[in-house]
Structure formats: C-alpha cells, structure tokens
C-alpha cells in the first residue's frame, strides 16, 4: 500500500494528541496500516506539540524534513515555523486563528501578519487550505473542539484512505460521552468548510 505521511503541529493544550488518536483508531478500524509518533513531554507547558502519522507499509514512526505529504497546523505561526517539514507538493491545512506566544506579548519578536503567513506558505507548497477552526468550533458548541474541526478538514482532502464514518465511530469510542455529539458536529463543520 502507498505510504502517506502526515505531520500535525499544535500548541500544547489545543488537543492535537486526541485528534491523532481518533485518526489512528479510525485507520485501525479500516485495517489501514498506521504508525504514529508524538513528543509530549512539554505538551501541557505551552510549547509546540508535534505528531507524525504514517499510513501504509512503512516501519518508521517519524518523518524527515521535507517529507510530509500532508501537513495540518492548529495555529498559523506554527504552520510557518514547521514549513521545513513540507515540500513543493505537500498539501497544507492551517487554522487561521492566532494564538500569539508569550514572547511576542513581551516584545521579543513580532507575530507576522496572517496574510504574509498565508502568502509564504502558499509559495512553497503544493496546496494551501485555510479555515478559522476556532470560529467553527464555537459554532459546533465547544471552543475546545478545534481539533475535531481540523480533523474534518483533513479527511475532506481525500488524501488519506480514511472515511468520515470511521472517524465518527472512532470519536464515539475514544472521546468523552458528553462531547461525542459536539465533536461529530465539529468534524462535519470542518469538512464542509473546505469542500470544493
């Protein structure tokens, strides 16, 4: 089976570990070979959290620079920072809602303008898809469901052999009961936001 490499970057607390878990569970349900790797030592201390997921017949659990086929960013500055993970064919999906780091707040560095960020990414990758996942999460009924909105946008690219139904099932199994309904709604809002 062809190999597809996905990198997800987020800021600690945005819930990317849950979204990669849901995606992995969905792949397992469908019998799609999947491996993933995460660095979460500092996840709850506001640092950057990165997951690598490899679908298909590969043994490695990490992805080298320039080798991501798909790249999902929960935050636009982090999308730009991790651009070394992409190549000229990579499909990039990024949330446009900013989470400025504290360093920018105290004047150590400037947060670039969102249009500049988009332009820079666009010029270096295969395709750029943007959405305001925070707004859609709010619409779904839970501001914390940004991860599910982005998951929806990701599967709508149809690059991964993962169906929306399997995502729904994985959500029902993996996420807290009280949030299943909003999580599924968030996935659907993410999907329709990027539908072409």
Partner 1 sequence: MHKLLVDQPGATKFLLGNEAIARGAIEAGVAFTSTYPGTPSSEISLNFFQMSRESDLYFEYSTNEKVALEVAAAAANAGVRSMCVMKHVGVNVAADTLMTLAYVGVRGGLVILTADDPYMFSSQNEQDNRYYGKLSGLPILEPSSAEEAKEMMDYAFELSEQLQEPVLFRTTTRLNHSTAPVVLGEMKKRVTSGDFPKDPFNYVTVPAVSRKLHVKLLKNLEKAEALACESAYNFIKGSGGWGIICNGVSYNYVTDAVRDLNIADKVKVLRVGFSHPMPKTLIQSFIKDCEKVLVVEEGEPFMEEMVKAFAQEIQYTNPVKGKDPELFSRLFEFDPAMVRSNIAKYFGVSYDAKDLTDLSDIPELPQRPPTLCAGCSHRAVFYAVNQATEGAGTIRTTDIGCYTLGFLPPLSAGDFLICMGSSVSTGCGFSKTTDKKVISFIGDSTFFHSGIPGLVNAVFNNHDVNLIILDNQITAMTGHQPHPGVDMKGMNYNGFNQISIESVVKGLGVEHISVIKPYNVKKSIAAIKEAIAHKGVSVIIARQGCTLFEKSLKKHVGKPFYVSDKCKNHKNCLNDLGCPAFYVEEDKVRINAALCSGCGVCAQICPEHAILPLK
The rounded distance, in Å, linking the Cα atoms of 71 and 52 is 9
Q: How far is the CB of 192 from partner 1 (least distance, A)?
A: 27
Q: Which is nearer to partner 1, 46 or 192 (CB)?
A: 46
Look up tokens 């099932």; give the residue. 169
Residue choice 64, 122, 127, 192 for contact with partner 1 (CB under 8 A) = 64
Which range touches partner 1 (CB under 8 A), out of 72-80, 132-140, 149-157, 187-195? 72-80
The rounded distance, in Å, linking the Cα atoms of 123 and 117 is 10
CA angle 85, 91, 95 (to 5 degrees): 85
Number of residues that bind partner 1 (CB under 8 A): 57
Q: Which two tokens stand for residue 45?
A: 């201390």
What binding mask, one character per residue, do residues 74-93 give for partner 1 by CB under 8 A, x or -? ---xx-xx-xx-xxx-----
Residue choice 105, 141, 165, 192 for contact with partner 1 (CB under 8 A) = 105
The rounded distance, in Å, linking the Cα atoms of 20 and 147 is 9
Helix or strand (DSSP H, E) at 55: strand 48-55
Beta-bridged to residue 141, according to DSSP, are none
Residue choice 1, 46, 127, 141 for contact with partner 1 (CB under 8 A) = 46
Binding-site ranges for partner 1 (CB under 8 A): 11-12, 21, 24-25, 28, 33-42, 44-48, 58-67, 77-78, 80-81, 83-84, 86-88, 100-112, 116, 120, 124-125
């Amino acid at each position: 089976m062809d190999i597809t490499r996905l990198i997800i970057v987020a800021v600690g607390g945005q819930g990317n570990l849950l979204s990669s878990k849901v995606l992995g569970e969905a792949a397992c349900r469908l019998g799609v070979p999947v491996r993933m790797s995460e660095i979460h030592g500092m996840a709850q201390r506001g640092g950057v959290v990165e997951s690598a997921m490899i679908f298909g017949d590969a043994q490695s659990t990490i992805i080298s620079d320039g080798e991501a086929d798909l790249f999902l960013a929960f935050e636009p500055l982090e999308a730009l920072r991790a651009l070394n993970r992409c190549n000229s064919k990579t499909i990039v999906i990024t949330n446009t809602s900013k989470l400025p780091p504290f360093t920018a707040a105290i004047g150590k560095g400037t947060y670039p303008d969102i249009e500049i960020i988009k332009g820079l990414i666009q010029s270096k990758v295969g395709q750029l898809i943007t959405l305001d996942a925070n707004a859609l999460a709010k619409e779904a009924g839970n501001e914390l469901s940004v991860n599910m909105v982005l998951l929806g946008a990701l599967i709508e690219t149809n690059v991964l052999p993962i169906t929306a139904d399997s995502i729904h099932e994985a959500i029902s199994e993996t996420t807290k009961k009280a949030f299943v309904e909003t999580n599924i709604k968030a996935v659907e809002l993410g999907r329709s936001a990027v539908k072409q």
